[in-house]
Amino acid sequence: MIRQATTADAAAIAAIYNHYVLNTSVTFEEEAVASSQMAERIAQVKADGLPWLVLEQNGELLGYAYATKWRVRSAYRFSVESTVYVKDGVTAKGLGSQLYQQLLADLKALGLHLVIGGITLPNDKSVALHEKFGFEKCGHFQQVGYKFEQWRDVGYWQKLL
C-alpha cells in the first residue's frame, strides 16, 4: 500500500534513511537524522504542497519517496527534485519502482513540469531506476562531495512531465 506520509512515520523513515547516511555515499548527509528532524522535513514538504509517499506491507514501512522544491526563486516553481529510498534488505524487489511511479503521477497531477534526480556516482541501480522512468542525464559534477575519505561525483537526471 502506498499512502501519504505523516509526521507519525518519521521514526520509521529515519530508520530507513539512516542506514544510507551511516553506511553509504548515496546521501551526503554524514550524521544520523533524529526522528524529530525527519518529522520537520515531512512537515516542510507537506507545507510546500508536495507529496511525501510511504510504502507499507503488512504494517511495516518499507520505503518512501518525496519531492522538494528545486530552488526558491519563483521561476523554478514548476521544477522539483525527487528522492526515493527503500529499506535495506528489500531492495531490488520493485518497491522503488512502485514508489517512483506513484510519485511521478502525483507530481504530474499537481501541474509540475520537470523532475530532477541527483545521484551520487557510481550508482548503477539508481541510474537504471531513473532511466526506466524516462529520466535523461543532463549534468555531472566531479568531486563535488567528500564522504568516507573520498571525493564523490554527482550526476543529474531530468524528466519532463
Smallest CA-to-CA distance from 120 within 157, 159, 72, 79 is with 157
- What would the grid cell of residue 49 be? 504542497
d(CA 157, CA 138): 5
Q: What is the pLDDT of residues 28-70, one digit of tens each?
A: 999 999 999 999 999 999 999 999 999 999 999 999 999 999 9
Q: What is the pLDDT of residues 87-122, one digit of tens each?
A: 998 876 889 999 999 999 999 999 999 999 999 999
Which residues form the domain of 13?
2-160
How many independent structural domains does the chain possess?
A: 1
- The owner of cell 535495506 is 88
13 sits in the region (left: phi over 0; alpha: psi -120 to 50; else beta) called: alpha
Q: What is the pLDDT of residues 122-152, one digit of tens each?
A: 999 999 999 999 999 999 999 999 999 999 9
* Domain containing residue 105: CATH number: 3.40.630.30
d(CA 52, CA 112): 15
Identify the three-state secondary structure at position 98.
helix
- The owner of cell 526506466 is 132
**Contact, 156 vs 117, CB < 8 A?**
yes
Radius of gyration of the chain (CA): 15
Q: End-to-end CA distance of the chain: give it in Å, rounded.
A: 24
Smallest CA-to-CA distance from 125 within 71, 74, 88 is with 88
